[in-house]
Amino acid sequence: MRRLVSTVQQRIAAEIARTVGEREAILAAREMRRLANHCRSPKGNFLKLSRQDLEVILTNRGTGDSTNRRCLQIIRRIYDVAVHLRMIRENPAASITRPKYKQTRPDYSVDQSLVDELIAYCWSALRLHDSPLVAFRTLLKLALVYALSSGAFLSELPAVRCDDLLSDGLVVGRGSRKRRLNLSSDAAIALRNYRSVRIATIQGRRAVLLFVTESGKAIYFKLVWKLLDKVIHKAGVGDLGLTPAKLQRASVKLLADNDLDWLDAFAVHGYRGIPNVKLKPYSSDELAEFVDRLHPMSADRASRQ
């Protein structure tokens, strides 16, 4: 059987292999890796997921009736073994009911204050560092928060992409997962200035969804995807359920409300759109002025509107 990263996963898989069978152990190992990825930790933190967390994960796994039934059986077996091995006291998956066929996905609406908290953290981090490189990386993270409104990472699945831009909504996903994501009229106007494309390769990587502006510049999401995860945890809002998928709904509105034309500065090759950010050292005052000039809520920008 494939070597597992976590001792916790290895013990559970070994117990399933001993009591049920090798094939079931392989399926359980695969499911545990997915659960661990959801927790962003391979060391057994997935055992601390609540019943509600597991329900969301199961619903996001797919709409097929047999798929959900199979996943639920495996998840329950994993947690039963964890109880048996005294890793946890009770099985949170025991009372989960199987999602119905073609059940609607959960609503990803999120409290606007959580998004504001994350954005405030990014801007405060910018002001704390004299290093333009540190500030630039933080600015990239903030840009990605807004850019998530494209639908490229709906349900935290990079393969689910935005197929079409409509006048009042997005069609996201593909196949049986395709569905309409309704937007406000203001957000729809903002998104009509962009178009989604797919290209064969970028710098030798597999094709990914890009956001291309009418001026021809593009935002390459995948290079800074991991940076966003770190920002969410450092901001202290990860435990409150603020995920990239939830941020999409709120960030669409932020695009429209805050006149985020400065996102055009982020190009594919090295993000060279911001002049001189890597060419000279900035003082604290210069960096503060630089941040204020780009800040979507700055007084200077508000006076121009």
Question: Do 70 and 154 belong together in one domain?
Answer: no
279 and 183 in one domain? yes
Q: Is the pLDDT of residue 299 over 60?
A: no
- Domain assignment of residue 49, given as a range: 7-84
pLDDT at 14: 92
Whether residue 171 lies inside any domain: the answer is yes
pTM comes to 0.38
**Element housing 197 (H / E):** strand 194-198
Residues 180, 173: Cα–Cα separation, whole Å: 9
Domain count, the chain: 2
Residues 80, 116 within the same domain? no
pLDDT tens across 82-96, in order? 999 999 999 998 888
The answer on 134 and 45 residing in a single domain is: no
What are the tokens at 54? 């597991």
Is residue 60 very low, low, confident or very high in pLDDT (cuts 50, 70, 90)?
A: low
Question: Across residues 133-149, what is the average pLDDT?
Answer: 43
pLDDT category at 44 given cuts 50, 70, 90 is confident
Q: Name which of 2-16, 87-101, 119-133, 188-202 the model is least confident about.
A: 188-202
Say if 19 falls within a structural domain.
yes
Q: How far apart are CA 154 and CA 245, in angstroms?
A: 5
Judge whether 90 lies within some domain: no
Q: Who wins on pLDDT, 292 or 89?
A: 89
One domain, residues 295 and 173: yes
Answer yes or no: is 123 within a domain: yes
Q: Is residue 101 part of a domain?
A: no
Q: How confident is the model at residue 70 (pLDDT cuts 50, 70, 90)?
A: confident
In the structure, what pLDDT confidence band is assigned to residue 289 with cuts at 50, 70 and 90?
A: low
Shared domain for 165 and 232, answered yes or no, is yes
